[in-house]
């Protein structure tokens, strides 16, 4: 992506802690690539499921006096409906907020208001996919495309044109939003794979020797805030680090010394929080963010 395109798709993202992070929106090509990867995965699942149903179900249905082809067709259509609707919802409700296709392309879903991504917006943005993607595909391959004039032909043309509005909607707004994103209050942002995360934790562990955080102070935040803190440490913007350090210190009741370095404090707290969350995760306890009791 060129520098001009990167600047054009860069947006201000203010977290609930008041930290202004710069995020890059996914462009149309990246979103299309992620969807095609997800579609390939769903098709592979459907092919495998169809083979299993065909191998295991036809004989049993025939023995029961039922028409195997019709029953298998109904099961296939039902499975396809459930898969295409709950595949996206299920994966985007995880902590990664991304389907396998989005993760491969380095993308994830985020709330445009900077808050926590909730089930309601996820459901809304994916429910609209029926109008944006699957309805146009159904219309395109319906018998009406082969001909027929008069009222039926015009109805088909109008339906396909209306569906096309949803298909090309992301190309006509600067944030590359689908109609589902507009309704759900979400956008898709670039989230490239992080490297050297363990090195950062080791670096913070060295600084942690100079800080004695109590368990209560460490438990003030969760996994979401850990990721935000990691971004702040990687960017190393002095003003941002000062604001975040003061906010964390105020929340946990830490009295900062006059000569205390912001980066050292944040790095040490990052190491302590990461260590605490990993230890709790080993016991089956996961704290998503500071609001998760």
Question: What pLDDT is attached to residue 140?
Answer: 67
> Around Cβ 89, how many Cβ atoms within 10 Å?
16
Question: What pLDDT is attached to residue 68?
Answer: 54
Question: What pLDDT is attached to residue 101?
Answer: 93
In tens digits, what is the pLDDT along the chain, a chain of 293 residues? 555 555 566 776 665 555 556 678 888 788 889 989 998 999 898 888 878 777 766 555 555 555 556 666 777 778 888 888 889 999 998 888 899 999 999 899 988 877 778 888 899 888 888 877 777 777 666 665 455 555 566 676 777 777 777 777 777 777 778 888 888 889 888 876 554 444 555 555 566 667 888 888 888 887 778 888 888 888 888 888 899 989 999 888 888 877 788 888 888 888 888 887 777 665 444 445 454 55
Residues contacting residue 275 through CB under 8 Å, at least 6 positions apart: 201, 205
Residue 120, CB-side half-sphere exposure with 13 Å CA sphere: 3
Question: What pLDDT is attached to residue 164?
Answer: 73
Q: What phi and psi, each to the nearest 5 degrees, are found at residue 195?
A: -120, 155
Tell which residue, 87, 88, 58, 59, has the closest CA to residue 70: 58
Tell which residue, 83, 74, 7, has the closest CA to residue 38: 83
Question: What pLDDT is attached to residue 116?
Answer: 78
Question: What pLDDT is attached to residue 197?
Answer: 47
Question: What pLDDT is attached to residue 57?
Answer: 60
Question: What pLDDT is attached to residue 99?
Answer: 93
Unique residue bearing structure tokens 């008041």: 18
Question: What pLDDT is attached to residue 17?
Answer: 52
Q: DSSP E strands: which ranges in 94-239?
A: 107-111, 186-190
Distances in Å between the alpha carbon of 111 and those of 88, 181, 218, 221, 288? 16, 9, 26, 19, 15
Q: Indicate left, alpha or beta for 196 from its phi (over 0: left) and psi (-120 to 50: alpha).
A: left
Question: What pLDDT is attached to residue 285?
Answer: 47
22: tokens are: 């710069």
Distances in Å between the alpha carbon of 16 and those of 107, 108, 244? 21, 19, 11
Query: In whole angstroms, what is the distance from residue 69 CA to residue 116 CA?
Result: 46
- Predicted TM-score of the model (pTM): 0.57
Query: In whole angstroms, what is the distance from residue 16 CA to residue 247 CA?
Result: 11
């Amino acid at each position: 992506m060129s520098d001009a395109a990167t600047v054009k798709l860069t947006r201000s993202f203010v977290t609930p802690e008041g930290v202004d992070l710069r995020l890059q929106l996914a462009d149309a090509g990246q979103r299309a690539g992620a969807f095609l990867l997800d579609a390939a995965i769903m098709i592979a699942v459907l092919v495998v499921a169809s083979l299993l149903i065909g191998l295991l179900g036809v004989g049993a249905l025939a023995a029961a006096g039922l028409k195997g082809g019709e029953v298998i067709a109904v099961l296939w259509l039902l499975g396809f409906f459930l898969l295409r609707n709950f595949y996206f919802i299920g994966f985007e409700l995880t902590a990664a907020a991304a389907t396998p296709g989005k993760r491969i392309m380095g993308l994830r879903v985020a709330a445009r208001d900077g808050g926590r991504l909730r089930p309601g917006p996820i459901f809304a943005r994916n429910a609209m996919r029926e109008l944006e993607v699957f309805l146009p595909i159904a219309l395109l391959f319906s018998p009406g495309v082969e001909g027929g004039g008069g009222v039926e032909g015009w109805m088909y043309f109008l339906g396909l044109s209306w569906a096309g509005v949803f298909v090309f909607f992301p190309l006509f707004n600067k944030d590359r939003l689908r109609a589902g994103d507009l309704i759900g209050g979400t956008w898709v942002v670039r989230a490239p794979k992080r490297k050297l995360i363990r090195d950062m934790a080791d670096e913070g562990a060295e600084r942690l020797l100079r800080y004695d955080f109590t368990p209560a102070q460490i438990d003030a935040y969760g996994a979401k805030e850990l990721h935000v803190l990691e971004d702040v440490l990687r960017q190393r913007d002095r003003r941002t680090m000062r604001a975040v350090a003061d906010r964390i210190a105020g929340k946990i009741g830490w009295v900062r010394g006059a000569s205390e370095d912001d980066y050292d404090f944040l790095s040490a707290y990052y190491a302590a929080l990461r260590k605490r969350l990993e230890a709790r995760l080993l016991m089956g306890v996961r704290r998503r963010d500071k609001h998760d009791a």
